Amino acid sequence: MITPPLNPLLLPPLSLYIHIPWCVQKCPYCDFNSHAQKGSIPEQEYVRHLLADLTADLSRYQESVQQRSLHSIFIGGGTPSLFSAENIAFLLHQIEQRIPFAPHIEITLEANPGTAEAERFLGYVQAGVNRISMGIQSFSDEKLQKLGRIHNAAEAKSAVGFARVSSLRIFNLDLMHGLPNQTLNEALDDLRQAIELAPPHLSWYQLTIEPNTMFAYRPPKLPDDDELWDIFEQGHQLLTAAGYQQYETSAYAKPGFQCQHNLNYWRFGDYLAIGCGAHGKLSFPSGKILRYSKTKHPKGYMRGEYLYEERDVSAEDRPFEFFMNRFRLLEAVPKSEFEQFTGLSLSAVDKTMTWALDQKFITETDRTWQVTEHGKLFLNELLEAFLPE
């Protein structure tokens, strides 16, 4: 049994996640908290509730957030690009009135290429957004149709053009592989077309069938494990040759263009969370770590029922929660950050680390741990070793 931490915590960077739950239609693979729009979206009313939600959080969690500034903001969904630039501008301005922005704050907005217009992208930049993440998923019209996407390949490429001329600091393309009936050549062709567009950042991840999705009820035929490995291996070579560096399991970037918001998640950072079904995590100087979530359905949320549940992260759970995030990254894990951000001593994980070293899942120096190439293949087994007995 681990002794509950008595050490005060060093507070990590603080981010803010904002969830906008509406989309044009629900994709069959999507298990996010999203709702197909029926009629007009109550944008202004929802923005008012987001700000009331944030105000309540800043008061409730004052011990954690006072005198801290926001390192990054991520507006996700759903499809945030369904909201007007004017409402996004008002939202960001009002947030800054409540909590200061750090210099060079990264502000990301997710966009669907089917809702992209040049004027709208320019409006988002004028509102303060400096990073757009576009859910392209594929450049095959046939595959896009099977995925339930509302855009086609031409619209995807057009949206990248809008992003390019809008003075964005960075744009990201989301691309999937392992799609229904996808061949190796089809997957690599998608990737080549993405690389030709020269995005500073590329999220390239495998389609997985999640519970309670349409694909779970009617599973499509996906590539087998050998085909998936060939896709990943050859795709990784293409990306590396094009100058992209893999810094996380599914994330590639040109040097200097990593997603700072996601890095904060993976480095066990703190994040406020507002909007339907949003999840937050906060550290307190006293040593407490809190996770919380918000009401999922827009009807309840817009009645002012914001907070759904809170839970303290126990001392026993902290090693698993820390490494579940950190071992996704390819960078070495500083031992000092484990102590500073969990409040535990290194002795809390000595036994597990000795086992992981014996398995050749990690390497170790006086200051760091690093997952090996072998360890990446057994990442779930490695992480399970940190679960409380």
73 and 215 housed in the same domain:
yes
28 and 112 housed in the same domain:
yes
- Which pLDDT value is given to residue 321? 96
Dmax (CA) of the chain: 59
Secondary structure letter of residue 356 according to DSSP: H
Q: How many domains does the chain have?
A: 2
Q: How far apart are CA 154 and CA 222, in angstroms?
A: 25
- The count of other CB atoms within 10 Å of the CB of residue 307 is 14
Instruction: Compute φ and ψ for 223, nearest 5 degrees.
Output: -55, 150
- Which pLDDT value is given to residue 1? 45
Last residue of a domain, one of 264, 296, 311: 264
- Which pLDDT value is given to residue 162? 84
Domain assignment present for residue 316? The answer is no
- Which pLDDT value is given to residue 198? 94
Q: How far apart are CA 83 and CA 19, in angstroms?
A: 12
337 and 260 housed in the same domain:
no
Domain assignment present for residue 328? The answer is no
- Domain residues for the domain of 229 are 14-264
Last residue of a domain, one of 264, 283, 313: 264
Q: How far apart are CA 203 and CA 214, in angstroms?
A: 23
Domain assignment present for residue 356? The answer is yes
3 state DSSP class of 224: coil
- Which pLDDT value is given to residue 118? 61
Domain assignment present for residue 290? The answer is no
Q: How far apart are CA 329 and CA 356, in angstroms?
A: 17
- The answer to whether 106 and 72 are in contact (CB under 8 A) is yes
Domain assignment present for residue 236? The answer is yes
- Which pLDDT value is given to residue 116? 66
Q: How far apart are CA 290 and CA 311, in angstroms?
A: 6
3 state DSSP class of 167: coil
Domain assignment present for residue 95? The answer is yes
- Residue 276 burial by CB count (10 A; 0-12/13-18/19+): exposed, middle or buried? buried
Last residue of a domain, one of 237, 264, 291: 264
- Write down the H helix ranges in the chain: 43-60, 62-65, 85-98, 118-127, 141-146, 153-165, 184-196, 214-217, 225-241, 260-266, 298-301, 318-326, 335-342, 350-358, 373-377, 379-384
pLDDT averaged over 10-residue windows placed end to end, the chain, 389 residues? 62 97 81 77 96 98 96 95 95 98 96 75 93 94 89 90 83 95 96 96 93 83 93 97 95 96 97 98 96 96 97 96 94 96 95 97 97 93 94
CATH number at residue 199: 3.20.20.70
- Residue 237 burial by CB count (10 A; 0-12/13-18/19+): exposed, middle or buried? exposed
Domain assignment present for residue 371? The answer is yes
User: How many residues appear in the chain?
Assistant: 389
40 and 176 housed in the same domain:
yes
